[in-house]
Amino acid sequence: MLRSYRLAIAVQGLVAVIGLSAAVPAHADDKPPETQLCLENRSMRTKDISAEHGYFVRTPQGWWRNTGPSCSAYGPNRALVTRSTQDRQCRGDVVVVFDPFTRIEYGGCVLGAWERVDAPPKD
C-alpha cells in the first residue's frame, strides 16, 4: 500500500514537470551568449567604463561586457590598471581604477568573465 502511494506521488510529480516544460517553449534563439574567461590586452581597441553599465571593451571580434560585480569606482574619463604577469584581463583579476590626469585612485574592482554583446548601452 505504501509503495503504490509513493509511486502515485512520483508519477504526479513527473506529469507536473512534463506539463511545465511543455508550457514554456524552447526557442533556437535562446542560446547562451558567447563568453570567454580572458581577453588579450593588445586586442582591446576601445573601452567604455561607467558605474551604471559596467566595463565594455571593443576588440576586432566585436564588443565584450565584463560580467564582474558592479563597481562604483568605474566612471567616465577614468583608466584601469591591471597588475598581472600576463598580457590579458581574466576573470578574478583586480583592476585599479584611477584618473589618468590627477592620478587619484578610486579603488579596485574584480573582473568576471567576458560576454559578447552588440554594443555598450547608450547613456
pLDDT of the residue at 15: 40
Q: Is the pLDDT of residue 53 over 80?
A: yes
pLDDT band at 26 (very low <50, low <70, confident <90, very high): very low
**Which residues lie closer than 8 Å to 35 by C-beta, 6 or more apart?**
67, 113, 114, 115, 116
pLDDT tens across 58-77, in order?
A: 999 999 999 999 999 999 89
pLDDT given at position 84: 80
Rounded percentage of the chain residues whose pLDDT exceeds 70: 76
Contact 78, 120 (CB under 8 A): no
Q: Is the pTM of this model over 0.85?
A: no
pLDDT above 90 (res 13): no
